[in-house]
Amino acid sequence: MTTVCSAPGKIYLFGEHAVVYGEPAIACAVELRTRVKVKSSTKMSISSDIGTTGLDFEIHPYVSSAIQKMGTPEISVEISSQIPVGSGLGSSAAVTVATLAAINIECGMCYEKEKIAQMAHDIEKEVQGAASPTDTFVSTFGGVIEIPSRKKLDLLECGLVIGNTGKGASPKKTANLVKQVALLKETYPDSINPIIKTIGSFAKHGQVIVAQKKYDELGKLMNINHGLLDALGVCTLELSALVYASRNAGAYGAKLTGAGGGGCMVALTDSQEVVALAIEKTGGRAIITTFTKEGVLQE
């Protein structure tokens, strides 16, 4: 038997960094998926863009940890992904969730989705040293999710363009940026705390505006959120260049997504081709995509 499961990547509509201090955020699954094919075999093997290995905690740490955690007999695992690796779009969460789900079905284990999300979060923590549960939760359940309540909001029926600066985001970089914001907050609490609170307010307003499908209003708040992330010092010239190019091309709004310091930005728009072209002309790699309600699924 063979089982194929796929799991989506994610973006933050609002609230990264502020969420670390208990403020609400909105994270959304996007229709960029990692597919994992699992079948029983005589030999353990893991194949991806970076090569074929056995259980290998250096080259395929997430998949090897997932296999180990599930205690499976010999299997072969084939990975293909539409999510750029190390760009803040949750690629490691997606490959972990999809691998666990495919093994779960192929080997007749009956874990619920909650358990898959929990195991995937544990694996991310083991591999990276620290990880927020947001990526693995959103990749497992899909949709538009308010954090930390995990309330599912209405699906956004608006187009999305992701702009990748090509400058890597990484767990280590994320940890450094989180530390950098913490230091700023500690040094200037009266200046920084209101910024964090204001970022939290976007998720509160956002919940209402998402339900009203007022994408121009959402865009305005995304623009303010981007400005405040810049104020916190996590933006880069390249990210802002892509953000401004998207806005000038008519996007409702645009902001960096994730920890910043490189990685990706997102633009909310119904003119995806025009915005994508503007991003490419400004030196970014554009990915046209949509929001998705589908989390991990069997294909």
Q: Which is nearer to ligand MEV, 17 or 33 (CB)?
A: 17
Strand partners, 46: 53, 77
Considering the rule CB under 6 A, would residue 87 count as an interface residue with ligand MEV?
no
Considering the rule CB under 6 A, would residue 16 count as an interface residue with ligand MEV?
yes
Q: Least distance (Å) from ligand MEV to the CB of residue 172?
A: 12
Q: Which is nearer to ligand MEV, 15 or 295 (CB)?
A: 15
Q: Which residue has the tokens 């609400």?
A: 24
Residue with the shortest CB distance to ligand MEV: 132
Q: What angle do CA 30, 33, 35 make, to 5 degrees?
A: 160
Q: Which is nearer to ligand MEV, 38 or 229 (CB)?
A: 229
Considering the rule CB under 6 A, would residue 19 count as an interface residue with ligand MEV?
yes
3-state secondary structure of 271: coil
Q: Least distance (Å) from ligand MEV to the CB of residue 132?
A: 3
Question: Which region, judged by CB under 6 A, interacts with ligand MEV, from 13-21, 77-85, 120-128, 192-200?
Answer: 13-21
Interaction residues for ligand MEV, span 236-295 (CB under 6 A): 258-259
Q: Least distance (Å) from ligand MEV to the CB of residue 38?
A: 28
Torsion sign over Cα 282, 288, 294, 299: negative
154 is catalytic: no
Strand partners, 14: 26
Interaction residues for ligand MEV, span 119-138 (CB under 6 A): 132
Q: What are the φ and ψ backbone dihedral angles of 183, each rounded to 5 degrees?
A: -65, -40
Report the residue from 7, 8, 17, 104 that binds ligand MEV according to the rule CB under 6 A. 17
β-pairing, 297-298 vs 144-147, is unpaired
Question: Which region, judged by CB under 6 A, interacts with ligand MEV, from 14-22, 47-55, 136-144, 217-225?
Answer: 14-22
Q: Which residue has the tokens 């074929």?
A: 52
Q: Which is nearer to ligand MEV, 19 or 287 (CB)?
A: 19
3-state secondary structure of 50: coil
How far is Cα of residue 114 from the mean position of the Cα atoms in its chain?
Answer: 18
Q: Least distance (Å) from ligand MEV to the CB of residue 75?
A: 30
Q: Least distance (Å) from ligand MEV to the CB of residue 174?
A: 5
Q: Least distance (Å) from ligand MEV to the CB of residue 1?
A: 36
Give the residue ranges of DSSP H helices in 170-289: 171-187, 189-212, 215-231, 237-248, 272-281
Burial of 106-126, coded b for 16+ CB within 10 Å and e otherwise, reads bbeeebeeeebbbbbbbbbee
Q: Which is nearer to ligand MEV, 88 or 219 (CB)?
A: 88
How many residues belong to the site for ligand MEV (CB under 6 A)? 10
Interaction residues for ligand MEV, span 161-220 (CB under 6 A): 174, 178
CA distances from 166 to 67, 85, 177 (A): 30, 10, 18
Would you tell me how many other CB atoms lie within 10 Å of the CB of residue 100? 31
Tell me the residue type at 165: T
Which of 49, 56, 135, 216 is labelled catalytic? 135
**Catalytic residue IDs:** 135
Chain positions contacting ligand MEV, by CB under 6 A: 16-17, 19-20, 88, 132, 174, 178, 258-259
